[in-house]
Amino acid sequence: MSHKQIKESDFEAIHYDDSDAERIAGESTSFWKDAWRRFKQNKLAILGIIVIVLLGIMSLTGTLISGQNYSDNNLMNANQSPSWEHWFGTDNLGRDLFARTWYGARISLFIGLTAAFIDLIIGVIWGTVAGYVGGRVDEYMMRIADILSGVPYLLVVILLMVIMPQGLWTLIIAMTITGWIGMARIVRGEVLKLKSEEFILASKSLGANTMRIMTKHLVPNAIGAILVTLTLTIPNAIFTEAFLSFLGLGVPAPQASWGTMTSDALASLRYYPYQLFFPAFFICLTMLAFNVVGDGMRDALDPKDRR
CA dist., res. 217 & res. 224, Å (int): 13
Q: What is the pLDDT of residue 307?
A: 47
CA dist., res. 81 & res. 128, Å (int): 53
CA dist., res. 263 & res. 276, Å (int): 8
Written as tens digits, the pLDDT of the chain (307 aa) is 556 677 666 667 666 666 655 555 556 666 678 778 888 888 898 999 999 999 999 888 887 887 777 776 777 777 788 888 878 888 878 788 888 888 888 888 888 889 889 999 999 999 999 988 888 988 999 999 888 888 877 787 778 777 877 778 888 888 888 888 889 999 998 888 888 888 888 888 888 888 888 888 888 888 888 888 888 888 888 888 888 877 777 777 777 888 888 888 887 878 888 888 888 899 899 989 988 988 888 888 765 554 4
CA dist., res. 273 & res. 139, Å (int): 52
For the chain, which domains are there? 50-68+89-305 (1.10.3720.10)
Q: What is the pLDDT of residue 46?
A: 92
CA–CA distances in Å: residue 14 to residues 17, 20, 103:
10, 12, 71
The distance from CA 219 to its chain's CA centroid, rounded to whole angstroms, is 18
CB neighbour class for 261 (10 Å; exposed up to 12, middle 13-18, buried from 19): buried
* Spatial contact of 251 and 171, defined as CB atoms under 8 Å apart: yes
Q: How many CB atoms lie within 10 A of CB 259?
A: 29
∠ CA 54-58-60, nearest 5°, is 125
* Spatial contact of 185 and 127, defined as CB atoms under 8 Å apart: yes
CA dist., res. 299 & res. 307, Å (int): 11
Please spell the DSSP secondary structure of 169-184, one letter per residue: HHHHHHHHHHHTHHHH
What is the maximal distance between C-alpha atoms in the chain?
107
CA dist., res. 50 & res. 40, Å (int): 12
Q: What is the pLDDT of residue 124?
A: 92
CA dist., res. 174 & res. 186, Å (int): 21
Three-state SS string over 90-112 comes to: ECCCCCEHHHHHHHHHHHHHHHH
* Spatial contact of 90 and 97, defined as CB atoms under 8 Å apart: yes
**pTM summary value:** 0.78
Q: Which of 55, 208, 33 is nearest to 132 (CA)?
A: 208
Alpha helices in 134-152 (DSSP H): 135-149
Q: Which of 118, 117, 128, 307 is nearest to 222 (CA)?
A: 128
96 forms bridges with which residues in the sheet?
Answer: 90
Phi, psi of 82 (to 5 degrees): -55, 135
